[in-house]
Amino acid sequence: MIGGTDVHIVRGEYPVLEGLTLGHEAVGVIHELGTGVTGYQLGQRVLVGAITPCGQCEACLAGDRSQCGGALGGWRLGNTMDGVQAEYALIPHAQANLAAIPDILSDEQVLLLADIASTGFAAAERGKIRLGDTVAIFAQGPIGLCATLGARLMGAAEIIAVDSDPNRLKMAQFFGATTVLLSCGDAVAEIREVTEGRGVDVAIEALGTQETFEKALRALRPGGTLSSVGVYSSHLQISIDAIGAGLGDHTIVTTLCPGGKERMARLMRLVSAQRIDLTPLFTHVFPLEQIERAYKLFASRESGVLKVAIRAS
């Protein structure tokens, strides 16, 4: 599958080791097992998260698995080693990262759990959404849509989705948004209106720009939480009045996609139990021969294009 990060990498906007194979989201079949990897069979179908922690370093043992071995260290595939857009790929720390896929689930049903769904759900989880909370999600690309779904899964009541693309807002409603707002308007003022002046308990930033970051902050109630999963390409400004000069009891959390087989297994249970269906996010599927066309289409961010999958066979 092609992700936003892959496009960043192709364009040279995110620096990875040169000459690497792209790709960090895959379902595959085990062809060979390294020494000491136990509990698996050759031929077994597995899901591998974008983040492949070792589980054994200090960061992992402290629960910061995405920062395995150092800053952002859990992201290896397609970043510091060859990725998975290939016929065969080597999975690091396989013992901690191969999650067996139940037979009843198809590849398409689970593939998006590797990265964007795990990230989007993490946005909701790190926001510590409580039952009945009001949540606003800024940007409804694939990750924002999964954050919308995550907010719904965690029991939010009012879920306000903001985006500039009416097609994406339609999809947002499908994924659980109760109110949708076109971002060309004054979203913050509209959110204040929808919430009768209260502001939202949790605001999620899922794009990576100053504008959405600031709006998310301003949409919060005093004491609220801004949960950010966007990747930023320039410095951020925190307006002093948006945080009550530092006295507003706000929380800002940033999150890299969580990984590891336990999370993958747990999220797959949501699919098995038919609580989530991510397949509507696949708006386009291409055969491997047409991968260049696929990249171009995905990079275009055209309305109606969400996730583009590559099928190897």
The reply on whether position 111 binds its own copies by CB under 8 A is: no
Q: Residues 239 to 258: which contact its own copies by CB under 8 A?
A: 239-240, 243-256
Q: Which of 230, 278, 294, 310 binds its own copies (CB under 8 A)?
A: 230
Nearer to its own copies, 33 or 153 (CB): 153
Nearer to its own copies, 39 or 43 (CB): 39
Token reading at 252: 């800002």
Residue 6 beta carbon to its own copies: minimum distance, rounded to whole angstroms: 15
Residue 305 beta carbon to its own copies: minimum distance, rounded to whole angstroms: 23
Written as one letter, the residue type at 219 is A
Nearer to its own copies, 43 or 197 (CB): 197
The reply on whether position 237 binds its own copies by CB under 8 A is: yes
The reply on whether position 77 binds its own copies by CB under 8 A is: no
Residue 180 beta carbon to its own copies: minimum distance, rounded to whole angstroms: 14
Token reading at 257: 């996609």
Nearer to its own copies, 81 or 270 (CB): 270
Residue 244 beta carbon to its own copies: minimum distance, rounded to whole angstroms: 5
Residue 106 beta carbon to its own copies: minimum distance, rounded to whole angstroms: 17
Nearer to its own copies, 265 or 291 (CB): 265
The reply on whether position 232 binds its own copies by CB under 8 A is: yes
- For 190: left if phi > 0, alpha if psi spans -120 to 50, otherwise beta; the answer is alpha
Give burial (CB, 10 Å; 0-12/13-18/19+) of 41: exposed
Token reading at 161: 């989705």
The reply on whether position 222 binds its own copies by CB under 8 A is: yes
Task: Quickly tell me which residue has 């309305």 as its tokens.
Answer: 303
Q: Are 52 and 96 in contact (CB under 8 A)?
A: yes
Q: Which of 233, 288, 301, 312 binds its own copies (CB under 8 A)?
A: 233
Element (H, E) at 253: strand 251-254
Q: Which of 33, 86, 105, 157 binds its own copies (CB under 8 A)?
A: 157
Collapsing DSSP to helix, strand or coil, 214 comes out as helix
The reply on whether position 93 binds its own copies by CB under 8 A is: yes
Task: Quickly tell me which residue has 């409580």 as its tokens.
Answer: 130
Angstrom distance (rounded) from CA 23 to CA 4 = 11
Q: How do beta strands 45-48 and 26-29 pair?
A: antiparallel
Distances, alpha carbon 194 to alpha carbons 4, 72, 197, 198, in Å = 31, 37, 8, 9
Nearer to its own copies, 189 or 312 (CB): 189
Angstrom distance (rounded) from CA 251 to CA 46 = 36
Binding range to its own copies, per CB under 8 A, among 137-145, 180-188, 261-269, 296-304: 261-269
Q: Residues 32 to 71: which contact its own copies by CB under 8 A?
A: 35-36, 54-56, 58-67, 70-71
Angstrom distance (rounded) from CA 255 to CA 212 = 16
Closest among 278, 305, 264, 24 to 122, alpha carbons compared: 264
Q: Which of 52, 85, 109, 134 binds its own copies (CB under 8 A)?
A: 134
Q: Residues 3 to 22: which contact its own copies by CB under 8 A?
A: 14
Q: Which of 78, 141, 144, 150 binds its own copies (CB under 8 A)?
A: 150
